[in-house]
Structure 1
Amino acid sequence: MVTTHLQSSLFDGVEDIGLRPLAGVERTTLGLGAWIDVLPGWLTGADELFQELVAAVPWHAERRQMYERVVDVPRLLCHYAEGVELPHPVLDEAREELGAYYAEELGEPFRTAGLCYYRDGEDSVAWHGDRIGRGRSQDTMVAILSVGEPRVLALRPRDGGGPAVRRSLGHGDLIVMGGSCQRTWDHAIPKTARGAGPRISIQFRPRGVL
């Protein structure tokens, strides 16, 4: 059984679960052909959605080979393949609106959704890029909607040069990583000892981007 201890936002919980207009997205050019778009508070009622996802999603843990031993992946996961019903209608709406907004740049719709549940500050994901699929060789986009308490998403150039970029995301915030970002930059959710509360990220991807 999954339990949560979410500290509600002072600005959330007064509106129904829904989406604000995508107007106001702010783009930051990272370099090397990569960029990020950020829109704080795109989703309203984010804390309520967080609670519904905790209860409704069939979360599972994974184990991975790490050098000479098998270790637990420090977060819970669930993947929704193309054509599979998402756990809340607002996520279908978000995927459609993102596809329409980025249609000219992306040239294809977002197809899949991956959910990650970071239960506390010990849950994390190491530096990586989504390069298993087409992101290894092509420009693409990954859109991430965050609900629950904020956690830092850090980005740094893959070759190690240049400073890292850090964005605190939660309570309905949106970030979109685009251009060459998956090839030329890595991203991570670092561990934190500051008593971080739970967060869920919903990642929308085009077909063949993993």
Structure 2
Amino acid sequence: MFEFTYARVMTLAYQASLFDDPGAAAVVGVLGESVQRIPLDSGAWIDLRPGWVANSDSLFEDLVGAVEWRADRREMYDRIVEVPRLVSWFGEADRLPHSTLDDAMRLLNEHYAHLDAERFATAGLCFYRTGDDSVAWHGDRVGRSTQRDTRVAILSVGAERVLSVRPVGGGQTERFPVGHGDLIVMGGSCQRTYEHAILKSAKTVGPRISVQFRRA
């Protein structure tokens, strides 16, 4: 366990991974047969690759300091509230904040190239500082992906949080603990027929950064 202070002058306690090599650079691993496919209903599926990025704590620490984090605001009922997490976004023409993310996007595109012509081209980053930070139930259906299937790949670094997934309209919730370099990919009809969330946690949890790779 160690503590660090990031640019918004907040000190956070963080439990390092027991599997990392202290001081070693982050390394993106292979995909291929190491990816576990979990079929869902209505043509949706989830791919899991635990520990895809080795020594991911160093990537987490670099992103904390290198990324220009901002607190978004949104209208809720009759008032404007802050989104309960920090965010940053990198478009198709933007330079990603770390070379490890370049490697990750390239390997993802190579791995899924046999499915169709869709390619990951953008990266949205979310910084969940404590268990109070969260994202409500939603499906990523924006822009050209509103009426068509699309893939979303999420790389998690930092402390473990639970990604909850359930059918649109309600049903059984599946829970996927992700952190410390884990990869989860939601594909097929998943963004249309399922929704996902990072729910608030009453337990003491450490900080986590998720990197969401999406099509342009």
Give the TM-score range, shorter chain: over 0.9
Residues matched between the structures, number: 206
Instruction: Report the equivalent of 1:187.
Output: 196
Q: Give the whole-Å Cα distance in 2 for the aligned partners of 1:45 and 1:106.
A: 31
Matching of residue 56 in structure 1 with residue 50 in structure 2: no
Q: Give the whole-Å Cα distance in 1 for the aligned partners of 2:214 and 2:114.
A: 16
Instruction: Report the equivalent of 1:66.
Output: 76
Query: Superposed, which structure 2 residues align to 1:10-159 within 5 Å?
Result: 10-14=18-22, 15-23=24-32, 24-159=34-169
Q: Give the whole-Å Cα distance in 1 for the aligned partners of 2:186 and 2:144.
A: 14
1:31 maps to a residue whose letter is D
Q: Give the whole-Å Cα distance in 2 for the aligned partners of 1:86 and 1:180.
A: 28
Q: Give the whole-Å Cα distance in 1 for the aligned partners of 2:180 and 2:36.
A: 18
Moved more, 22-31 or 165-174: 22-31
Q: Give the whole-Å Cα distance in 2 for the aligned partners of 1:106 and 1:147.
A: 28
SS class of match (2:40): strand
Instruction: Report the equivalent of 2:13.
Output: 5
How far 1:106 moved relative to its partner? 3.7
Question: What TM-score results when the alignment is normalised by the length of structure 2?
Answer: 0.92
Q: 1:106 to 1:164 in 2, by over 3 A?
A: farther
1:11 maps to a residue whose letter is F
How far 1:59 moved relative to its partner? 0.2
2:189 maps to a residue whose letter is S
1:72 maps to a residue whose letter is E
**Runs of 5+ unmatched residues, structure 1:** none
1:140-196 superposed Cα distances (whole Å, 9 cap, x missing partner): 100000000000000000021x31111000000000000011100000000001101
How far 1:198 moved relative to its partner? 0.2
SS class of match (2:57): helix
Equivalent residues of 1:13, 1:48 under 8 A apart: no
How far 1:67 moved relative to its partner? 0.7
How far 1:33 moved relative to its partner? 1.1
Q: Give the whole-Å Cα distance in 2 for the aligned partners of 1:135 and 1:153.
A: 21
Q: Could you say what the CA RMSD is over the residues aligned between the two structures, in angstroms? A: 1.1
1:164 maps to a residue whose letter is T
Q: Give the whole-Å Cα distance in 1 for the aligned partners of 2:137 and 2:119.
A: 26
What is the aligned counterpart of 2:205 among 189, 196, 204?
A: 196
2:187 maps to a residue whose letter is G
Of all paired residues, the percent bearing the same amino acid is 55
How far 1:83 moved relative to its partner? 1.6
Q: Tell me which stretches of 4 or more aligned residues in structure 1 moved more than 3 Å.
A: none
Q: Give the whole-Å Cα distance in 1 for the aligned partners of 2:116 and 2:148.
A: 11
Q: Give the whole-Å Cα distance in 1 for the aligned partners of 2:12 and 2:120.
A: 29
